[in-house]
Amino acid sequence: MAYAHVSGSPRPEEHAVDEIDVRLAGVVKRFGGMVAVNGIDLQIVRGAFFSLLGPSGCGKTTTLRMLGGFEEPDEGTIELGGNDVTGIPPHRRNVNTVFQSYALFPHLDVFENVAYGLRRRRVGKPQIDEHVREMLRLVDLPGLERRRPGQLSGGQQQRVALARALVNHPQVLLLDEPLGALDLKLRKQMQLELKRIQREVGITFVYVTHDQEEAMTMSDRIAVMRSGNIEQVGPPEEVYEHPATEFVAGFLGASNLLRGTVNRRENDRVVVTLASGERVVAPAGLEPSTPGGAIRVGVRPEKIRIAPGSAASEDGRNAISGVLREATYVGVSHQYAVETRSGETVTVYAQNLGAAGEYAPAAGEDVVLSWHPEHTFVVEREGEIDA
């Protein structure tokens, strides 16, 4: 059960399409009259770091609990490694779970906490010693075998919980917001550590979080959930750069979403008329299927260039006019809030280059905002957004 052999395991993108570790088909879960999970379908390839991301109450933790066997679906099936485990209790599923609370045994030292599952399986003492020490090396805790949980920091306790969950080499490891109790600096450190550990052991991780940055940092793929439904599944870059819905665009990072309607298509581009009367273009194929329908044009704040109002946009770039209402210095960047002709607010992140003569507009100044058409996305309008 040594882990050295898996450090070179293929990454998820190298696996064949049919190597699926987790499959949910038409899964529904109700609590009384409330639908917590609404008929979701999901496939997770072997060896992936997969995150379920969404706000509180979206159904992500309920989905994780159904994977672990702590809740049973009212409809649909759950497969692990190609085997239908619907209705099978947690102790008979080849999964382990790491919770936010760690759930360590306070009366046992680190070694015995990690060895607990092996002892229950009646593994021999030499093998227990070997496997526990290998796990403690993996989570960077060698030499702490005889400490009790109360003598450890929060980050060290989290590593012990992870080692205990991994020592039996489960097929799938479930993680329910395990970093939520840590401070910001330690949480960021543990994000990188979790990703390193997952790559080394090659086990499928299914991670639940409401933290967008956390999901983006660690995941091979992300499923964004809302109200019991999956809004979009894909690699972090794809979901961020090309959100499928207005909700995804607003939840995953900061987005500027401007009201508009599709004007026409021109080869590989679509022309959109904004509420301000200005026109911008976006890659074709991203617009809603109904011509002339109400849409939102989106662009991320870091993609936008801000210039004086008298300056013209460069050829080929989208450009809109506005008035700077607020400028904020945040160290690594300047953040600007610009009111457009339609009264909507656009946020701009401009990197702080610290260069002499760098343009820094003042409140009340007329400005032009420009960005490349390929950085534009279009989603169907779901409702009004406060300007």
For 363-380, the pLDDT digits (tens) are: 999 999 999 999 999 998
CATH number of 255-380, picked from 3.20.10.10, 3.40.50.720, 2.40.10.170, 2.40.50.140: 2.40.50.140
Query: Which pTM value belongs to this model?
Result: 0.86
What is the reported pLDDT for 387?
36
Mean pLDDT of 241-265: 91
- Structure confidence at residue 88 as a pLDDT band (50, 70, 90): very high
- Structure confidence at residue 287 as a pLDDT band (50, 70, 90): low
Rounded CA separation 52/72 (Å):
18
For 313-332, the pLDDT digits (tens) are: 667 899 999 999 999 988 88
* Three-class secondary structure of residue 276 per DSSP: coil
pLDDT at 15 over 50: no
Rounded CA separation 201/142 (Å):
18
Of 8-12, 267-271, 362-366, the poorest mean pLDDT is in 8-12
What is the reported pLDDT for 23?
97
What is the reported pLDDT for 291?
59
Percent of the chain with pLDDT over 90: 67
Rounded CA separation 24/20 (Å):
11
Least Cα distance to 239 among 298, 172, 189 occurs for 298
* Residue 162 and residue 135 in contact, taking contact as beta carbons nearer than 8 Å: no
Q: 4-94+170-241: what fold?
A: Rossmann fold (3.40.50)
What is the reported pLDDT for 187?
87
Q: Give the single-character DSSP code of 243.
A: -
Rounded CA separation 117/132 (Å):
10
Structure tokens at 259: 């009201």
